[in-house]
Amino acid sequence: MGWGTLITRRLKVFSLALFVYFDYKAVQKRVQWVSAVKKNAIWAKTHERNARRVLNLMIELEGLWVKMGQYLSTRADVLPEPYIEVLKQLQDSLPPRPLEEVCGTIEKELGKPMRQLFATFDVDPLATASIAQVHRATLEDGREVVVKVQHDGIKEIILEDLKNAKSLIEWIAWAEPQYDFNPMIDEWCKEAPKELDFNHEAENTRTVSKNLSRKTEGGSGSVSSDVDVLIPEIIQSTEKILILEYMDGIRLHDNDSLEEYGVDKKRLVEEITRAYAHQIYIDGFFNGDPHPGNFLVSKEPPHKPILLDFGLTKRISQSMKQALAKMFLSCAEGDQVALLSAFAEMGLKLRVDMPQQSMEIASIFFRQSTTATEAKENIKALNEQRERNAKALQEKMKLNKKEVKHFNPVDAFPGDAIIFMRVLNLLRGLSASLNVRIVYLDIMRPFAESTLLGSMTRGPSTNSEWIYDSPVNSEVESKLRSLLLEMGSDKILGLQVCAYKDGKVIIDTAAGTLGKYDPRPVQPDSLFPVFSVTKGITAGMVHWLVDQGKLKYEETVADIWPKFGTNKKELIKVQKLISLMLCNETQCFRIITDSFVTS
């Protein structure tokens, strides 16, 4: 590819980006002066014409832009409907490459003429995608296969497109700081080139197939038995050629065929989600590109999903796998402390401590999927949540509107988590495009629990290390620790006990772990989110004693509890105790206790 072609591609990308950007800005000004009905119609037309502009350029440029369009076409949960309908065309086959080019690549890679390699070779491709096209064929031994052939010169195009995409994302982040996708494109730039080596894809396919067929025991029992998918066998591979077992299946966008064969689309998406939960939480090795074009559905009941294309596959460390599981489960439990702990373990650094907003944002990725018909309401809810979070950030950081727009609360974002979030978004888009609703928390939870609980080392009840190693202050503390060991971690999750006598500490013991999904040990200075109910109980009991005639609001407290009358408090009346924010809880209970005794 010459420099002239590369420059032309870049100019076309940025020209369209500017054109679309200013079109939206102009419409944004225009709709301020029209009715709500006209406003909706104007926005719908704007989305449709810009979606068609984007589609036409993506088809013309092919390469990475087609992959990006395929990704966007699955995001019915966040993108306007016209974009989904228009970009869906990219899920179908693109214009095929010439047969001469295809045969030339095959013969060059495999070192033999076509007649010696295949008994039959279909001239018309089964599908043409951004990087390669696939032909059906029969080997000399009679096996039916598909032959995946990389487009000639696609490597140079993809690498150039990545540079252009990076520049475009940087410009968007500058123009609209709230839409900063730099971490995502950085990770994509690192991972996408791996798709250009089909040897790499072949090895990935074998690994995932082996992992999903292996039975794994975890903290909540066997979870791999829930995974019921098909993966084609690898026959042969080179850098630009991949030969796989042929599997006859239905494409996910072929809704008529899915209906004809009686495919349960909800069960289908659930099976795919289970397969990805297993890959992420159990194996730590997962396909990062689950768009509809990478799946088929077997025509034979029970219509299992067929997983294809493992070029973009991510391997994560054991610690990252556990951190992702912890993040998921902390969202499920609403545990803000565990969530922030998971962020730290992932390497995600925040510039501001906002646990509630962090929980809301993280929970977005695991929320129940929405159908395509609910997409507009979903977009509205997400925008409202974004506005609430921005307002909370503005108040906490004492920023003005312009400053908060340019403030990025994330200081560092781990690259490993980018592909993970991309997978979750694509799975959500998959359920939206098939118009089904699934509950990710229910499906993924057993897998996340399996990896996290299997890694936790709370220790048996006979292990003295289960109790935090600190000096024993008294004989009663020694007895307490013996009792804790006897009860063990089966009955106690975590605790702190501190007691004073005559101004001296006689008990200061901590034991167990910080949470069900947080294996860190409890220490004497560990903080827990707690609230007091004592004041409310005390107020209720005081009112009850008055109703029973055992107290009177106009009585002075010193008449009931003489020692209370010291330090000029002899005139304070019982009614003052109702203002419990100013009342010492211990004194209140002492009053009540004495009242019962004297009555």
User: Which residues are annotated as catalytic?
Assistant: 289
Q: Quick one: CA torsion of 427, 433, 437, 441, rounded to 10 degrees?
A: 10
Per the structure block, which two tokens stand in for 541?
Answer: 């009991």
Instruction: Give the closest residue to 444 by CA, choosing from 329, 283, 286.
Output: 329
CB 145 within 8 A of CB 247: no
**Which is it for strands 349-350 and 313-315: parallel, antiparallel or unpaired?**
unpaired
The Cα 436–Cα 266 span in angstroms is: 6
The Cα 234–Cα 311 span in angstroms is: 13
Tokens 């295809």 map to which residue? Answer: 102
CB 450 within 8 A of CB 282: yes
- DSSP annotation string for 307-329: E---SSEEE--HHHHHHHHHHHH
* Helical (H) or strand (E) element with 588: helix 585-598
SS (H, E, C) 119-134: EEECCCCCEECCCEEE
The Cα 134–Cα 541 span in angstroms is: 78
3-state helix, strand, coil in the chain (%, to 5): 55, 15, 30
CB 130 within 8 A of CB 289: no
Q: What is the CA radius of gyration of the chain?
A: 32
Other Cβ atoms less than 10 A from the Cβ of 224: the count is 19
8 Cβ partners below 8 Å, 6+ apart? none
Q: Which residues of 479-565 form beta strands (DSSP E)?
A: 494-501, 504-515, 518-521
CB 285 within 8 A of CB 279: yes
| Residue 215 amino acid letter | K
| Residue 108 amino acid letter | K
**Which is it for strands 118-121 and 494-501: parallel, antiparallel or unpaired?**
unpaired
CB 293 within 8 A of CB 462: no
The Cα 461–Cα 456 span in angstroms is: 14
The Cα 340–Cα 352 span in angstroms is: 11
Cis peptide before 302 (omega within 30 of 0): yes
Q: Could you tell me the sign of the dihedral formed by the alpha carbons of 233, 235, 239, 240, in that order?
A: negative
The Cα 193–Cα 182 span in angstroms is: 18
CB 535 within 8 A of CB 583: yes
The Cα 389–Cα 372 span in angstroms is: 26
CB 304 within 8 A of CB 229: yes
